[in-house]
Amino acid sequence: MSRLQPLNSARRKDIMIHSLLVFLLPVLAKALDNGLVRTPPMGWLAWERFRCNTDCKNDPDNCISDRLFRTMADLVVSEGYAAVGYEYINIDDCWLDKERSYTGQLQPDPVRFPYGIKDLSNYIHSKGLKFGIYEDYGNYTCAGYPGILGSLELDALTFASWDVDYVKVDGCYSLPRDMDIGYPEFGYFLNRTGRPMVYSCSWPVYQIYAGIQPNFSSIIENCNLWRNFDDIQDSWSSLESIIDYYGNNQDSIVPNAGPGHWNDPDMLIVGNFGLSYEQSKTQMAMWAILAAPLLMSVDLRSIRPEYKAILQNRKIIAVDQDPLGIQGRRIYKHKGIEIWARPISPLYQNYFSYAIAFLNRRTDGTPSDVAVTLHEMGLVASGGYRIEDLYEDVDYGILTPQTKIKVKVNPSGVVILRANVQPSYAPTTPYDPFRTGFPAVNRNSFKKKRSIEIIS
């Protein structure tokens, strides 16, 4: 057994004060008031899986084309994704013609989008879904197609005329320092159209790359969501790097999230080639803890049933879509074991419910056990918590803060629990955020097949 050495009481108190403030800051943050994405957006996005494949002659089934997006819209509905909340069908780069029209308007590639963007938008809307599009605050998009610089108002009006619901604006071929003016300016033109359009920005990530400290107060006021870090790639190492970035920088990242304004760690790659089954479960659970947009980038024609089930897990989606909109934090990290916690509804008096993710970063080939009481994780409501395993779909009933659980976590896997706070009918002492401890990590074998064990 290995145990994290306890911190002294003063240091522990400092950490708990800081953690409590960071959890509560998103509730107070000023944000873009366009009434959209009060919970993180959900949908399907082309980029990670289909990239900039424009070869419709030799690869007609997988090229960026009208056909691809209509097919995916059909499957989002017919395969049950829409029923659990996925609603946006989003084009990414490479939909454009290389030149604007003679009137200066953006136009799609005429071969790959023969009916035009408005017709595709109408088709997606006819399915009860919403339509998203891509552009770039630069002279060109990242793939070399026309950017919006010099045509901000015209392009906003064009998107509105196509009944676009979601606009992602990248940042290639532009100066990062200009983004402090440029992104708000384009957002202003989007809002002036009168068409409600979610505004997804790449503003902070390009400034971070350039060594500029982003003005998150302005970003929150002007954007509905934004990228902070690298593009996700189809690999476990890429996913780990994103998890590390959000954990290592959580003090500056977490306070910016809330209803209508979200940190975006990038697409869901569940069901592609680079993640194992356990790693795929990890991404879905961690994105829910991070209050992240759930934008699938996968071929829905060939996804295997077990990966489809991960993407359609209603209970984990409910965590992601929690109306409080508070992003979770890493509360423990030691020897490859991490615990992440997200405050969620319902509340009782001044106590949150929580989603708790136990993440095993080890690759030594055997599951690891984590033994911890609810109290040690900060779950201290005297009425206890109803504990449910969201992947195993097991309800463990109401457990008191003093109850110890032992969680079995597979290598590069996750166990995610929901802890719903329960009313207390006995006199309670005031909530003390300083009373917390740290979990023990051990490798004892389990006597049960379930992912957690209640230790009397």
- Rounded distance between C-alpha atoms, residue 175 and residue 197, angstroms: 25
Give the three-class secondary structure for 111: coil
Using the structure block, give the residue that is written with the tokens 């107070």.
Answer: 28
Cβ contact 3:300 at 8 Å: no
> For 138, what's the count of Cα atoms within 13 Å in the CB-facing half-sphere?
23
- Rounded distance between C-alpha atoms, residue 35 and residue 178, angstroms: 27
> For 218, what's the count of Cα atoms within 13 Å in the CB-facing half-sphere?
14
- Rounded distance between C-alpha atoms, residue 439 and residue 454, angstroms: 15
Cβ contact 194:158 at 8 Å: no
User: Could you tell me the end-to-end alpha-carbon distance of the chain, in angstroms, rounded to an integer?
Assistant: 19
Judging by DSSP bridges, how do beta strands 2-3 and 130-136 pair with one another?
A: unpaired
Task: Region of 336 please: left (phi>0), alpha (psi -120 to 50) or beta.
Answer: left
Give the three-class secondary structure for 374: coil
Cβ contact 362:338 at 8 Å: no
Question: CB neighbours of 345 closer than 8 A, spacing ≥ 6?
Answer: 322, 323, 324, 352, 353
Radius of gyration in angstroms for the set of CA atoms belonging to the chain, rounded to a whole number: 23
**CA distances from residue 347 to 278, 420, 423 in whole angstroms, order as listed:** 31, 8, 9
- Rounded distance between C-alpha atoms, residue 75 and residue 124, angstroms: 11
> For 308, what's the count of Cα atoms within 13 Å in the CB-facing half-sphere?
14
User: How many CB atoms within 10 Å of residue 422?
Assistant: 19
- Rounded distance between C-alpha atoms, residue 41 and residue 295, angstroms: 7
- Rounded distance between C-alpha atoms, residue 445 and residue 22, angstroms: 37
User: How many CB atoms within 10 Å of residue 102?
Assistant: 7
164 φ, ψ (degrees, to nearest 5): -70, 140
Q: Give me the active site residues, please.
A: 170, 231
**CA distances from residue 33 to 37, 38, 100 in whole angstroms, order as listed:** 10, 10, 32
